[in-house]
Amino acid sequence: MPATHLALLRGINLGGKNKLPMKDLAAMFAGAGCHDIVTYIQSGNVIFKAASKVSVQLSDTISSEIEKHFGCRVPVVLRTAEQMRKAVDSNPFIKEGVPENTLHVVFLKDLPSPRRAGNLDPDRSPPDVFTLLGQEIYLRLPNGMARTKLTSYYFDSKLGTIGTARNWRTVTKLLELMEE
């Protein structure tokens, strides 16, 4: 039975860069064997159903198709509905009552090694705080995403993987759409 998945694309349709129409993106997913495809906002969030044999190669397939048709290499991070539910339920800052408008999640493509995780500097960007749990980095950014030094590029370089960030409102809305 096909499972519900989420594809999180990094760096598209931001500030006029890497323009990618959602209609074309949805067509790429359909061409790769996905169905019940829904895009959410223009920043590269695609909910779809696919058999495991399709989803296992999908990240590389979609990245290659985007590069072929649009000339830019876009990382694609995948999550199942179950993984998204766990990510939402595991946010340590929610349990502390932190204002939700200060929260973000970086979704990592791969599980970082403990050695690499030890390279992260907890004092890199005060008053910002982060917690790495599995393949998610939970961020509390009181001054917003634009002012932090806790960027996807920082985490990529330290953890040896690729990540893409979403604000908490988007994360919870994506889960809601996945569970409908």
pLDDT in tens, 139-153: 999 999 999 999 999
| The predicted structure's pLDDT at residue 177 | 97
pLDDT band at 2 (very low <50, low <70, confident <90, very high): confident
Q: How far is CA 51 from the centre of its chain?
A: 21
**Dist CA 47 CA 177 (whole Å):** 8
pLDDT digits (tens, 9 = 90+) for 50-73: 999 999 999 999 999 999 988 888
Question: Same structural domain for residues 91 and 36?
Answer: no
Q: Are residues 89 and 56 in the same domain?
A: no
What are the phi and psi torsion angles at 74 (to 5°)? -120, 120
- Could you tell me if 98 and 164 lie in one domain? yes
Classify residue 163 by its DSSP letter. Answer: E
Do 44 and 62 fall within a single domain? yes
Single residue among 47, 80, 113 that ends a domain in this structure: 80
Residue that the structure tokens 């499972």 belong to: 3
Percent of the chain with pLDDT over 90: 86
Token pair listed for 48: 């779809």
Whether 149 and 166 map to the same domain: the answer is: yes
* Domain CATH number, residue 134: 3.30.70
**What's the predicted TM-score (pTM) here?**
0.95
Share of the chain above pLDDT 70, in %: 97
Domain of 165, in residue numbers: 83-179
Question: Is the same domain home to 13 and 62?
Answer: yes
Q: 139 Cβ partners below 8 Å, 6+ apart?
A: 103, 104, 105, 106, 128, 129, 130, 148, 150, 165
89 and 149 assigned to the same domain: yes
pLDDT for residue 72: 87
pLDDT(1) > 80: no
The pLDDT score that the predictor gives to residue 43 is 80
Q: What are phi and psi of 60, to 5 degrees?
A: -70, -40
* Residue 99: predicted pLDDT: 96
In this predicted structure, what is the pLDDT of residue 98? Answer: 95
Is the pLDDT assigned to residue 15 strictly greater than 70? Answer: no
| Tally of CB atoms within 10 A around 56 | 12
For 78-124, write each residue's pLDDT tens digit. 999 999 999 999 999 999 999 999 999 999 999 999 999 999 999 99
Judge if 74 and 145 occupy the same domain: no
Q: 87 and 74 in one domain?
A: no
Q: Which of 21, 46, 80 is the last residue of a domain?
A: 80
Residue 26 is predicted with a pLDDT of: 95
Query: Is there a single domain that holds both residue 50 and residue 123?
Result: no
Do 61 and 121 belong together in one domain? no
Q: Which helix (H) or strand (E) segment is 139 a member of?
A: strand 136-140
| Residue 148 · residue 21 · CB < 8 Å | no
Q: What is the pLDDT of residue 13?
A: 66
- Same-domain pairing of 168 and 120: yes
- Number of domains comprising the chain: 2
pLDDT of residue 16: 65
Give the domain-ending residue among 49, 80, 111: 80
**Domain at 31, CATH number:** 3.30.70.1280
Predicted local distance difference test score (pLDDT) of residue 70: 87
